Chain A
Amino acid sequence: MYTHLETAEPHPNLRRVVIDPVTRVEGHGKVTLLLDEDNHVKQARLHIVEFRGFERFIQGRPYWELPVLVQRLCGICPVSHHLAAAKAIDQLVGVDQLTPAADKLRRLLHFGQTLQSHALHFYHLSSPDLLFGFASEASRRNIVAVLDAYPEVALKGVKLRKFGQEVIRMICGKRVHGTGAIAGGMNKSLSETERDYLLQDADQMIAWAADAVTLARDLYLSDREHHEHFALIHSSFMGLIRQDGALDLYHGGLRVKDERGQLILDHVDYRQYTDYLREEVKSWTYMKFPYLVAQGPERGWYRVGPLARINNCDFIPTPQAETARQAFVAYGGGLPVQGSLAFHWARMIEVLHSAEAIRALLHDADILGSDLVTRGERRAEGIGVIEAPRGTLFHHYCVNEDDIVTRANLIVSTTSNNTAMNESIRQVAATYLDGQTVTEGLLNHLEVAIRAYDPCLSCATHALGKMPLELELLDAEERVISRVQRGFGD
């Protein structure tokens, strides 16, 4: 562990190096390093500097607005929030089981989202580092340079992303911030024309997704020694699992395995999540630190997302992705794969699974069904959990008798990876930067470690009222007139 690099001992000659902003990630964050006179790393932190307040300002809104409102948390993964909120408000209207058409439409939407989000991340954001090198020329580390140097590879990525977006558009009317899921179901059926429009490209997308798995695997293994140990940390893994142990991105019970693959929790009803998870707040970042209650904040942190899901599931219920998973597990030699860069490989296995699942759903007669909404007995509390592209996403709402939200709690995927991302950059700092002259290329190594997690930093910052906050009022000459603080030293 590298927790000794979280907070440096006070020293007069520590030098501060900052990466601000972290590039090629969604949202805004910065990395700070404190180095001594010999360039030894004494502190490394990933700070999330966005402050958004969603949990607070959705209080006072009627619950049926939530699936539309919470999409505004993010422009990359709005559908994930849309569906998690929908699952939560399903419970408010007493629905535990949707109609077959509504359930499959939501799953189709979710697979479209996963496909486009993963493709965006791998091809647009991470592939420049993997193809050109972590310390390659900065001006080349972007999708346009990849298009120039590897046009076939980049074009597949662009088209995979577009296909995922078209799935979303057919269901929600727009690629970003559309509408679809409502309390108890869906607001629109899929027409035959829309289904056929998507189906015409489904086989090609599966082929390209299989190519993506090959590419990610080959890139990882091409420099195996380096990639296995880069940002290597050891953690538990958490994710949803279907009743039979299958990977299920839409619904399931919580499973946590420790770093040796032993079960800590299994098939836990996620509506009981507060019995198992807590969130810690630290003064130097707006993102919280979730942990397993039973193990405490020091040892109870875990990772979520593609690496967790592929490590945790017993099988993938689509054939080509299952073959790819078996190869991934064989590489791990019986233990969970821990290398942070293996996230990319696992992520592409999920792209393949999503492409296969989309085709299967489009061939399912239920997908064109018009029986879309069901109702039950009203409840005052609803919890929706889903496997977003970046990991397990929790939406928890309480409402009063007037259907107004009185309480909201979100645990966003990226938040669960907060400790892991910090540990990863500390490992990289200790391994690559310690005692070295700091160069732009070496600083990009830190960003590569962060990017492996595909963080959504805008999503991860939404709490108001829980973190330390300082407010200063300045006059025109920027003199402090008054200052208010809360939470420091709590």
Chain B
Amino acid sequence: MKPRVLIFGYGNPARGDDALGPLLLERVEARRFQPPLAGLDLECLTDFQLQIEHALDLIDRDLVIFVDAHTRCSPPCTVQRVEPRADISHTTHALSPAALLQVFQTIHQGLALPSCFVLSIRGYRFELGEPLSPEAEAHLIAAGQQLENTVSSFFSSSPAAPDPTP
């Protein structure tokens, strides 16, 4: 069985560097038939923001990578594992991946939580109508490479993970 992977890029494409998440997903889609993505049961999702119902999209996944722009992470990008955490971000338009995992655990008691990571891409300007900044555009290339490295490392180092080798 192929490893089941969800890559979820979110952000507002009309707000400058907030488009980084959805834009990275476009690059992923373009490379989905090349290693290391070729051996995966891969789904790419984009949305403006994380919402409660996205907990349903995490079902039956081995690996989930959230991709979002970040105003303060080290450039060009960072990757961090995400664990469930109850926070109040569900009361805002900025539901966090950790809070989403907490929702998953609440509504799917007994289901295995997938391994989750957040790939944060450094952004610089987020005003309505702004194009992607030149710096962010450069970070996008690095982030694409980082994402593939994350996928490769996860499946090569995780004994429980299915083998993505085609």
Q: Do A and B bind each other?
A: yes
Chain A residues in the interface with B (C-beta under 8 A): 75, 124, 142-144, 147-148, 151, 154-155, 158-159, 161-162, 165, 175-176
A148: chain B residues at CB < 8 Å are 106
Q: How far is the CB of A164 from chain B (nearest CB, A)?
A: 10
Given the interface pairs A142-B90, A143-B52, the reply to whether A158 lies near B47 with Cβ below 8 Å is no
Q: A124-B52, A162-B53 are in contact. Are A176 and B107 (CB under 8 A)?
A: no
Residues of A within 8 A of B91 (CB): 142
Chain A residue with minimal CB distance to B102?
A144
**Distance of B152 from chain A, by nearest CB (Å):** 30
Contact, CB under 8 Å: B53 / A165: yes
Residues on A with beta carbons closer than 8 Å to the beta carbon of B90: 142-144
Q: Which of A75, A143, A144, A155 has the most CB of B within 10 A?
A: A144
Asked whether any CB of chain A lies closer than 8 Å to the CB of B67, the reply is: no
Q: Known interface pairs A142-B90, A142-B91. Does A158 touch B106 (Cβ–Cβ under 8 Å)?
A: no
- Say whether B52 contacts A75, CB under 8 Å: no
Closest chain-A Cβ to B114's Cβ sits at a distance in Å of 18
- Residue total for B at the interface (Cβ-Cβ under 8 A): 15
User: B52's contact among A158, A175, A176, by CB below 8 Å, is which?
Assistant: A158
A144–B107 Cα distance when bound, in Å, is 10
Q: Would you give the shortest CB distance from A456 to chain B, in whole angstroms?
A: 15
> How many residue pairs, one in A and one in B, have C-beta atoms under 8 Å apart?
37
Q: Which residues from chain B sit less than 8 Å from chain A, CB to CB? A: 47-48, 52-53, 55-56, 86, 90-91, 99, 102-103, 106-107, 109
Q: Give chain B residues whose Cβ lies under 8 Å from the Cβ of A162.
A: 53, 56
Complex interface: chain B residues within 8 A of A124 (CB): 52
Once bound together, how far apart are the Cα atoms of A143 and B106, in whole Å?
A: 12
Q: Is there contact, CB below 8 Å, between B103 and A151?
A: no
Shortest Cβ-Cβ A-B pairs, 6 listed: A162-B53, A158-B53, A144-B90, A147-B106, A155-B107, A161-B53
Distance of B95 from chain A, by nearest CB (Å): 10
**Complex: how many Å from CA A273 to CA B48?**
36
> Chain B contacts of A75 at CB under 8 A?
48
Q: Would B106 and A176 count as touching, CB distance under 8 A?
A: no
Indicate which residue in A142, A159, A176 contacts B56 across the interface (CB closer than 8 Å): A159
Q: Are A176 and B47 in touch, CB under 8 angstroms?
A: yes
Q: Are B56 and A147 in contact (CB under 8 A)?
A: no
Q: Which B residues touch A175, using CB under 8 A?
A: 47
* 10 pairs from A and B in contact (CB 8 Å cutoff): A142-B90, A144-B90, A144-B103, A144-B106, A147-B106, A151-B106, A159-B53, A159-B56, A165-B53, A176-B47
Q: Looking at B52, B53, B56, B109, which has the most chain A CB atoms within 10 Å of its CB?
A: B53
Tell me, in angstroms, the Cα distance from A84 to B19 when the chains sit together.
Answer: 29
CB-nearest residue of chain B relative to A158?
B53
Q: Which residue of B lies closest to A161 (CB)?
A: B53
Which chain B residues border A144 with CB–CB below 8 Å? 52, 86, 90, 99, 102-103, 106
B42 → chain A closest CB, angstroms: 18
Report whether B48 and A176 are in contact in the complex, using a CB–CB cutoff of 8 Å: yes
- From A116, which residue of chain B is reached at the shortest CB distance? B53
Chain A residue nearest to B48 in the complex (CB): A176
Complex Cα–Cα for A148 and B109 (A) = 11
A151 and B103 CA atoms in complex are apart in Å by: 10
Give B19 Cβ to nearest chain A Cβ, in Å. Answer: 14
**What is the bound-complex CA distance between A75 and B51, given in angstroms?**
13
| Interchain CA distance A159-B47 in the complex, whole Å | 17
Our pick among B47, B48, B102, B107 for the contact of A154 (Cβ within 8 Å) is: B107
Q: Who on chain B is nearest to A165 by CB? A: B53
A428-B46 Cα distance, complex, nearest whole Å: 42
* A333 CA to B103 CA, complexed, in Å: 42
Complex-state Cα separation, A143 to B107, whole angstroms:
12
Residue picked from B55, B91, B109, most chain A C-beta under 10 Å: B91
Give the residues in chain A near B47, CB-CB below 8 Å.
175-176
Q: A144-B90, A147-B106 are in contact. Are A158 and B48 (CB under 8 A)?
A: no
CA distance A147 to B56 in the complex (A): 13
Q: Are B103 and A147 in contact (CB under 8 A)?
A: yes
Q: How far is the CA of A138 from the CA of B48 in the complex (A)?
A: 27
Residues of A within 8 A of B55 (CB): 158
Please give, as numbers and ranges, the residues of chain B lying within 8 Å of A147 by CB-CB distance: 52, 103, 106-107
> Please, which residue of chain A has its CB at the minimum distance from the CB of B14?
A72
